[in-house]
Chain A
Amino acid sequence: MELVLKKGVTDLMGEVVGQGLCTVCGACVGTCPYLKVYRERIVMIDQCGVKEGQCYDICPRTRTDYEALNRRIFGGGRDDYILGTHRAMVNGRAADAQVRAAGQYGGTVSALARFALSRGLADAAILAGRNVKFPLLPEPMIATRPEQVALAAGSKYTACPNLSLLDKALKVYRAPLVVGRGCQVVAARKKQAVNAEAERAPLIIGLFCMWSLNYRELERFLSDRIDVTQVRKFDVPEGEFVAVLNGGERRNFPFEEVKRRRLSTCDLCYDFTSELADISVGSTELENDWNTVIVRTERGERFWRDACDERVVEEKPFRDDRREILRKAAAGKKGRAINLLKARFGGKDKDAPLGYLKLGDKEITGVSQ
């Protein structure tokens, strides 16, 4: 199968971690006792002595065949080269105002996770929680009760290795729900392709993600300016980077100043809207108490409908003008990533002209249109 790459941890450490391509998704860490993550760095503690391993197959920065993954997930080719295959696109939000207030924008992800846990669709949810020791460094957590979801509410803007808990969750729980950035959704899907156990994840919720900030650099930047232990969440409204503190106080920083502290690997990311998720959720860039929701799979659609019917979330139609703006943003990110990948990897390997990405011509031309 195309998705089994016949390489192992040494290749992973050399080609991905060593090249600064790691997105700190955590997937490899979860599979393996020899790999660990500490403060945004993947570390190989010992040699596992195995030449070929899952760790390499499931990494979002090893060869990623979007076409093959699409066929697995959606049963066909990609019907939208910019926003990914989807069934519906709406504005959505948590019906509960308290959940909205704690979460990001409309609090949709929190509401869906709570719903899945309370209805027994999932018996665990893998989320980005808080770290007591390093306040700006999110720590993966497993919520098993709806009220625990609140511990993970709010966007973190630094890379949280959520998937480091996936294998553990699969050992203990029947149906662990996954929430993650685009790279993490890709990793989870790649894992499902090579490890049937992972198919027990009942739902994969993807987040819109332009980039993650480098935790150490962000901490250096912010700790001179605010008490980082008091940060509850971040927000990126137009032209600004906002830290929302525990008391509700908002502290603004120049967007470009913060943005340049992002992980360099994020510039190579092709996937702004978590195209392989069951449901993708992001901001509206317009309304502060609503989210953009892209419903992609049949499973995702069923779940979304149930959540609407049970009045856990509310929805309203997605405006066409906003759709074009979102498409432009997604296409822009793809275009920049493809150009960078071409410059960095192009020509070296005719099977991998774009580094980790394996794309058909249509995809590339689709973006350039």
Chain B
Amino acid sequence: MSVTEDKPGKTLLFMGNEAIARGAIEAGVDFSASYPGSPSSEIQETLAATSRHFGHYAQWSVNEKVALEACIGASFGGMRALTSMKQNGINVASDILMTANLSGVNAGVVLVVCDDPQGHSSTNEMDSRPYSRFADLPLLEPSSAQEAKEMTRWAFELSEQLKSIVIIRSVTRISHARGNVTLGEIPARNRKPGFGPNDRYLSLPPIFQHQKMHKKMAQARDIFAKSQFNEYFGPANPKRAIIACGSGVMYSREAIQRMGLGNEVGLMKVGTTWPLPEEKIAGAVGGATEWLVVEEIDPFLEENLKSLIIDLGLTVRKVYGKRSGHVGGMLGPAVGEMNPDLVMGAIEKAWGYPQPAKRQIALSDESRSLVGMGIPYRELAFCPGCPHRTSFWVTNQAVKLDGREGIVMGDIGCYSMGAGRTGYFLPRTMHCMGSGIGFANGLAQLKGLNKPIMAFAGDSTFFHACIPALVNAKYNQANLTLLVLDNSATSMTGFQPHPGTGKNALGEDVEPVDIAEVCRGIGVPTFVLDPFEVEASTYGLTDLMQQEGLKVVIFRRPCALVEAKQIKKEDRPKVVIDTEVCVGASCGCGQFCSRVFGCPALIWDAKQGHAAIDEVLCTRCGVCATLCPQGAIKIAT
């Protein structure tokens, strides 16, 4: 693995997340703990994969709060620690942030948050940066893979200097893009853990610790003023300047270059976005009359810069950005991802510079004219052979059979996609990890609603945030059913192990935590169904649904992608269509298989008028053969 290469000065192509991990390694990180979540997962995966090589510790934690607390704990014990998470994760971890900021830390603690502008793989499009201002923690925003590595390495030093957690904010296009990274030295790891008899880390008394925290921020401001991560490009004393951070820096550089404004418009790159490097900004672009601010998601930098104008008495008259509406996409400012075109559009709108002619994308036009359409819309869908599809199918049927309009809450994981057609539109909510059973705790107490209340939770989600809610349901006698979709993997984020899988982050065998035993231990009747036994599970679940009281139903069946790694598809019998038996669109079927069940491998041959199997996609799970009302789908013998 290239991340392990010990050749200082050598340049390699790294994914942003690998660069962050490498930065931690170059800082001699001792400890890492994280919960997976796109676009952050590869950071911890890289640290776990290099753990044996470098001797640092790595774990997958059950959730982000535990992960951050574990890191802070390691820091109290004198060891450098890093946790990485997606933007939703910092919400989970936020509780400890608001006291660990007061107590401070010992060895360096770096918290990497990878935001997901555009919400490519998230339930929200949250900007995590206000947490830095909120919790008074220094914030760094890398603009390239190289900088991601350098910032991470430096963040540990900064953390130790200030005795404060340091936050690094990445975004999808930094974390998941690849760029050249020149390697630095890997230090000898010589820290020894220790916890002295008089070492204490308290947030008490709050007011004095609060005062101390503000002093740290003042200190950070001084340090940032000298930081190389803040840099000015362009003419001296420009009248017009762009101030950008994160991925906005590259977009702005490209826009300035393509519009030929290098001699007119300045670019202030801010890498330390909280607290702001005030003097540095004032010195480079403080004399400008107009600023244009480029950043991802919310006008965080923009608003802080506006405060700066007042505080420093600058003569800037106008700040263009998301507030003014100049920087924004089709859906308006502060929605969706930035890109160079949006920056050029903003420059044109704000300052009237003409944009270069639109690039002709000849091949795209040609392919469109050949096909007669653009790229077809691809619906979110469960994979072929996915047990979730069948669990949703079973639950959907059970709700209908029960006939009381049962309500199913959704949760976070692959099965979030089930809120769409692939899951028969079954989940009625989808918010954050554990929220499904949380909502169910409320709905289940409403007398007179008279509808069965259910909540989905994946196996990893169960460990992450469902257990307190299940205890709450037991304690308060909530009449609800928790449906655990146990596919033995954290699939959505890339098959990381979790406590139920029997493997740890290093791939070592550990005693698995049995979800059924956890539930039974809480005192909740728990039943295990196999979603591939469609008929038995459907009626089994319906019967259970008709019984009063709290219960847990576990749909247990490994993720098709995990199973594909263990059992070769070729070792299973083929699924075939008996075209003589298939009745097609006539009464009695109405393309039940391809139209209703919706497995991507089950297709409709419109020319021949019968069902067909897409051999490339089919996992040969055989579920469709049990569903075909005509018995036309068969397992080959």
Contacts and interface: CB of A to CB of B under 8 A. Distances in A.
Interface of A: 8, 31-34, 36, 38-39, 41, 43-46, 48-50, 52-55, 133, 171
Interface stretch (B9-17, B272-280, B396-404): B396-404
B124 to A, nearest CB: 32
Q: Which 6 A-B pairs have the closest CB atoms?
A: A33-B629, A38-B401, A48-B590, A53-B587, A33-B592, A49-B590
Given A44-B400, A45-B400, A46-B596, A32 B631 contact: no
B589 interface: yes
Contacts, number: 54
Interface string B584-603: 01111111100110000000
A36 B591 CA distance: 17
Interface in B383-421: 396-397, 400-403
Interface in B351-378: none
Contact of B587 (A43, A50, A133, A171): A50
Contact of B542 (A38, A44, A53): A38
A50 B402 contact: no
Interface string B430-462: 000000000000000000000000000000000
22 contacts: A8-B587, A31-B588, A33-B592, A33-B629, A36-B397, A38-B539, A39-B546, A43-B400, A43-B401, A43-B403, A44-B400, A45-B396, A46-B596, A48-B592, A49-B591, A52-B587, A53-B587, A53-B588, A54-B587, A54-B588, A55-B587, A171-B630
B627 interface: yes
Nearest to B595: A49
Contact of B397 (A8, A45, A53): A45
Given A31-B588, A41-B403, A50-B587, 9 more contacts: A33-B588, A34-B596, A38-B403, A38-B542, A41-B401, A43-B401, A45-B400, A48-B587, A50-B585
A124 B387 CA distance: 35
Contacts of B590: 34, 48-50
Contacts of A33: 588-589, 592, 627, 629
A133 B596 contact: no
B588 to A, nearest CB: 6
Interface of B: 396-397, 400-403, 539, 542-543, 546, 585-592, 595-596, 627, 629-631
A171 B631 contact: yes
Contacts of A55: 587
Contacts of B546: 39
Contacts of B592: 33-34, 48
A35 to B, nearest CB: 10
B185 to A, nearest CB: 63
Given A33-B589, A46-B596, A133 B403 contact: no
Contacts of A49: 590-591, 595
Contacts of B587: 8, 31-32, 48, 50, 52-55
Nearest to B627: A33
Contacts of B631: 171
A33 B542 CA distance: 17
B546 to A, nearest CB: 8
A32 B401 CA distance: 15
Contacts of B589: 33, 48
A353 to B, nearest CB: 29
Contacts of B400: 36, 43-45
A138 to B, nearest CB: 15
A133 B390 CA distance: 24
A141 to B, nearest CB: 15
A53 B583 CA distance: 14
A55 B188 CA distance: 78
